[in-house]
Amino acid sequence: MAPVDLTSLGHQTLFRAPHYPWPKFDAVDDRVRGGVSTSNFTIRKEPHSHTIGVFSGHLDIMALKDVGFASQSTVFNNTKPLSLPRLCYSGLLLTILRPSDEVSVTTTPITTKKPSKPKSFVLTLKSSPPVTRPDGTRVAGISYEYAFTLGDFDGKEKQIQMEWDGFTATYRGRSDKKFAKLDPNKLYELSFMCRSNFGEQAGDFELKILELAALKNKYDKRQSRGCFDRAKQLVTRRYEAGWYRRDQGVRLV
């Protein structure tokens, strides 16, 4: 994917501590299926650096035979969902920091291969309100996933551009092209996940998140109209102030 020119396109910060506070996250780990993976989402001040959101925990692949997962999820109010319409925004921009080296790896006795330390993560969005059964369990629904890795850092920070059409529609972890594309006009849930990818990764993990922003759509007609209106106001003010000559027209200097 070609890099986005943030100078011309721009972005709107959604969450960045401390001035754009992160919402409360709750664990949705494989313990709901009998696993033992754990996760947390905390706010932390890095020494001599930024205040960041940290998604961390331990990914286990022993209890569920290579299919462990750990995730943290936040649910937005049904009456006030997160609204990022395609007309105005083209996707998300996730800024992460270089991970710490102090992570351990657990080798599973179920297989002879040694899993790598977790570097692959998923950001998930849901465009329909969550439905809960009488016993408190969640009814499965369609999720939209964007997978990314911690590799290829050029310095201390890395920006990951997530175009709306790059999100994959899934149901119970399986993708299907028959599902409609993501409609970001009303988003009811946001989550970060670390999963084993069938035994490929396991152990302690940490994702340091500096900022989550919405990429502004360069084709936003309302944004273009706003630019035109501002230019028109500038010309009008200078005309009224006397910046007009019969032989030269409006002089914008």
CATH, residue 65: 2.60.120.430
Domain membership flag for residue 226: no
Domain membership flag for residue 84: yes
Domain membership flag for residue 230: no
Q: Closest by alpha carbon to 115, among 37, 198, 202?
A: 202
Domain membership flag for residue 235: no
Q: Closest by alpha carbon to 128, among 176, 184, 55, 52?
A: 184
Dihedral of CA atoms 121, 123, 124, 125 in degrees, nearest 10, equals 180
Q: What is the pLDDT of residues 129-181, one digit of tens each?
A: 988 888 877 788 899 999 999 988 877 899 999 999 999 999 987 888 889 99
Domain membership flag for residue 248: no
Residue 60 is part of which domain span? Answer: 11-219
Tell me whether strands 189-195 and 69-75 are parallel, antiparallel or unpaired.
antiparallel
Domain membership flag for residue 198: yes
Domain membership flag for residue 233: no
Domain membership flag for residue 65: yes
For every residue of 86-112, which 3-state class applies, written as one string? Answer: CCCEEEEEEEEECCCCCCCCCCCCCCC
**Eight-state DSSP code of residue 137:** P
Q: What is the pLDDT of residues 5-32, one digit of tens each?
A: 444 458 999 999 999 999 999 999 998 8
Our count of domains for the chain comes to 1
